[in-house]
A and B are shown apart, each in its own frame.
Chain A
């Protein structure tokens, strides 16, 4: 088993064992068709999450809420929530506000560089509250 594979396996195990849903904020804190950042505590330590709200997005899975890492691996700054939200080639994306790479909201994949992917966090509304699994 290679080192990376081992690490992946451990990550998955960590995910399986320690994730819990937590309330982050309310709908009123979100900005329509744009992003905000949230601070969450997880079993692995604190994390910064970018939350995007696309009310009434017409897409198969009918997502309205997405959450990705707030950390931009290209600029190494916590800025993803401040990017412009849009859609490219059929997928909802956010553009990094610093060097403008696009990340798919669905899974965090960077469209310009296959090897880069942001973590995508599970997120949903519970009534007016916004909950993230982390």
Chain B
């Protein structure tokens, strides 16, 4: 800060301790501005600043303290004087003082953060007892008190806040009506169609909606306390009235002292939030910037940041704010983006979609060339709001058929934006903390392909978990810049994984050599690489299920598949036998322990409900597995892109809540799908009741028991980008469940990209969940028989790869550290920690 600490502090006064005024105090505290300013805050309300946005939660049990924006001693501890319950009644600009009924206070700089007040239309009788407003905690206390001997309530004003107030009255058990002057509800946010739909939905909740009603007067009622008389002499009786007919800036103090005021109110400020008196600033809902009042908290906070900057000679400017909003009012989704009415952009074109049965309405306002989204309106379902907002706020070019964005998904539309929908700040690679913005910057800086981006940002060179996401972002960004993206899997094949899959199936090709001879690019050595070889190995395994250790397939495999164990960072391997459903007998536990002891293996229980033995030396693997197989174990495929585990909860056998045997089902499923090779790993979870102890909704396939059977969820994921699985089918019996999963998995295996988990696959799937349901549940492609048959083949041809390998001396030859020497690799050194071995 510019002034040294020793100078006499300047006096800074803030009028108003609302959301924005408080935010300014926090900014001042956090940025060291208190070294320069001595700050005094006046708040007219008796409470310290609280969260007005969530005011209505006061009725659902939150109290003033829990709504407060800071701890009770925040101001004292920070050294800011807060004078609540003390309103400023005058600003004396000549003396540079503010006046309250308790005294006069000098200021060097003054900030107006007085917010706004609810507008009460000038109707005779509007000041009767029980005529209230909805803005402060005290207002809510008054409403609650009045509601005690009331049975009916009316809200005057059908805007956003009016509907929120109506919901509150309903919550107080009043028969509630909304009276709106305009011809529809929420006239600012929605058009006639949208308003009509909103009316239907709200009436369905038992709230009466009266539009085009101008109240003429309020007088004594007969059956109730008040009677409202409308322009057409119709009447409505009620015990309680809440006015919510818009807000007006609290600019009286500013008017009185001669500051510049807008035509329709509001203290005029510039980009620095300065009024026409440079000693005075205004922020929040009282401030009028570029002819606009911003009635939302986010722009207010931006103004507070600007004010801090202005007060400390910084250069932050306020540049307006986006007023797009997404709300749930009375349980009804309403969304409004940009120029939702299409009235601010001459030549704009509109697309509308109205579903009177599902009660959904969506409207797009598109530039005249059809390329940019200028605004949007949603009623009934905000599902596409986030995607649309991305198009709007980032100026992303619309698809050729903009209407596809608002059509129901079943008509083949593409509702999610995929990588384009991610904001610039989204972290893509968490290992190296690379954001989408960083990736864009390297592309703009000259990177022309995935490799270039990886090299420059290190993205995806850590745990590699972001590989698929990174690729889709890079592809997307390159395409957005007009670069034609080569979809080839690698330099050896001009095909995608899906393309290769189809070729293998249609032509019945059974080896990599065959495939690359017939379909590989001629200008390579046709050796393949570490991208296409494992991908083809997986495809061949999905189609023909020959042992991956057969001579023709061995060179294709990652080391993990070659040695049927996961290589660890020191070159040793882990051993993970299958423990289907997490159920294990004591004898098997003992056997595991004995093997671990004998071969000095570090033992750890995994998150997949089984036991991982680490530190196995290559040459010990066959012996370890012989002993495990003798004890009744089989391979767990922890090394493969294949089914990992089916996690289960305790289930109805033991659990008092269980409605089905989740463990039994998990074992069935694990045994059915074990060994299935797929584009990426697959995890299942089965819970025995809706309490969901198995966390099935974070899995690729999640199953939750119901009274009548099983609910199936698909495409969930944990990890870096968690995704809840989506409900796919309900109340299936066992047989139906297997059939549905058979089809689903085979369709995934057939169409997904390499290393694409079901979640990412689903997000990139044109047509989304609806399309998936049509294919799997309604057989819209007519392929279900084939998918089932194919799965049955995989199930029927299952064999434990380890049992196969240990019975074949040729295969065992690979399991030695050196072809010419029996010694183990001497550079593997272990030390001990917590009673077990670990890499030194």
Contact = CB atoms under 8 A, between A and B. Distances in A.
A14 interface: no
Contact of B567 (A34, A58, A82): A82
B837 interface: no
Contacts of A83: 530, 559
B491 A89 contact: yes
A4 B828 CA distance: 29
B529 interface: yes
Residue among A29, A88, A92 with max Cβ neighbours from chain B (10 Å): A88
Contacts of B491: 88-89
A15 interface: no
Contacts of A97: 558-560, 567
B459 to A, nearest CB: 14
B527 A54 contact: yes
A100 B555 contact: no
Nearest to B814: A31
Interface stretch (A5-13, A35-43, A118-126): A35-43
Interface stretch (B35-43, B382-390, B819-827): B819-827
A33 B511 CA distance: 14
Residue among A57, A83, A87 with max Cβ neighbours from chain B (10 Å): A87
Interface in A17-67: 24-25, 29-34, 36-40, 48, 51, 54, 57-59
A100 B460 CA distance: 11
A84 B529 contact: yes
A48 B524 CA distance: 30
A79 interface: yes
A37 B818 contact: yes
Contacts of B234: none
Interface residues of A, number: 41
B525 A33 contact: no
A37 B819 contact: yes
Nearest to A112: B455
Nearest to B560: A97
Contacts of A86: 492, 527-530, 532-533
Interface in B497-527: 524-527
A93 B821 CA distance: 26
B562 interface: yes
B819 A25 contact: yes
A59 B819 CA distance: 27
A38 B818 CA distance: 5
B555 A32 contact: yes
B171 interface: no
A103 B505 CA distance: 33
Given A83-B530, A88-B491, A89-B491, A98 B820 contact: no
Interface residues of B, number: 39
Contacts of A24: 819-820
Interface string B795-823: 00000000000000000011001111101
A87 to B, nearest CB: 4
Given A77-B570, A78-B827, A79-B567, A87 B819 contact: no
B821 to A, nearest CB: 4
Contacts of B358: none
Contact of A84 (B555, B570, B821, B823): B555
B527 A57 contact: yes
A57 B530 contact: no
A85 interface: yes
Nearest to A111: B451
B673 interface: no
Contacts of B656: none
B571 interface: yes
B809 to A, nearest CB: 12
B403 interface: no
Given A29-B813, A57-B527, A112-B455, A84 B571 contact: no
B198 to A, nearest CB: 55
Contact of B818 (A32, A39, A82, A98): A39
Residue among B492, B525, B556 with max Cβ neighbours from chain A (10 Å): B525
Contacts of B828: 77
Interface string A72-113: 000101110011111111101101011110100000000010
B554 A77 contact: no
Nearest to B464: A100
A99 to B, nearest CB: 7
B534 interface: yes
A75 B557 CA distance: 20
B534 A38 contact: no
Contacts of B526: 58, 87
A88 B819 contact: no
Given A34-B554, A82-B567, A99-B461, A87 B525 contact: yes
A88 B569 contact: no
Given A39-B823, A83-B530, A48 B818 contact: yes
Nearest to A26: B819
Contact of B820 (A38, A78, A84, A112): A38
A33 to B, nearest CB: 4
Given A37-B819, A38-B819, A48-B825, A87 B570 contact: no
Contacts of B557: 84
A44 to B, nearest CB: 16
Contacts of A93: 529
A78 B618 CA distance: 11
Contacts of A88: 491, 529
A24 B823 CA distance: 15
Contacts of A59: 525
Contacts of B530: 83-84, 86, 95, 100, 102
Interface string B88-115: 0000000000000000000000000000
Nearest to A28: B813
B243 interface: no
A38 B467 CA distance: 34
Nearest to A36: B819
Contact of A82 (B556, B563, B823): B563
Interface in B541-556: 551, 554-556
A83 B556 CA distance: 10
B534 A84 contact: yes
B563 A87 contact: no
Given A29-B819, A36-B819, 10 more contacts: A24-B820, A29-B820, A38-B820, A58-B525, A77-B570, A78-B571, A82-B562, A84-B530, A87-B528, A97-B567
29 contacts: A24-B819, A24-B820, A25-B820, A33-B555, A34-B554, A34-B555, A38-B818, A38-B820, A39-B818, A39-B821, A48-B818, A57-B525, A58-B525, A77-B570, A78-B827, A82-B563, A83-B530, A84-B555, A84-B557, A85-B555, A86-B528, A86-B530, A86-B533, A87-B525, A92-B525, A92-B527, A95-B530, A97-B559, A97-B560
Sort A-B residue pairs by CB-CB distance and give the 6 closest, nearest first.
A86-B529, A77-B571, A97-B559, A33-B555, A95-B530, A39-B821
Interface of A: 24-25, 29-34, 36-40, 48, 51, 54, 57-59, 75, 77-79, 82-90, 92-93, 95, 97-100, 102, 112
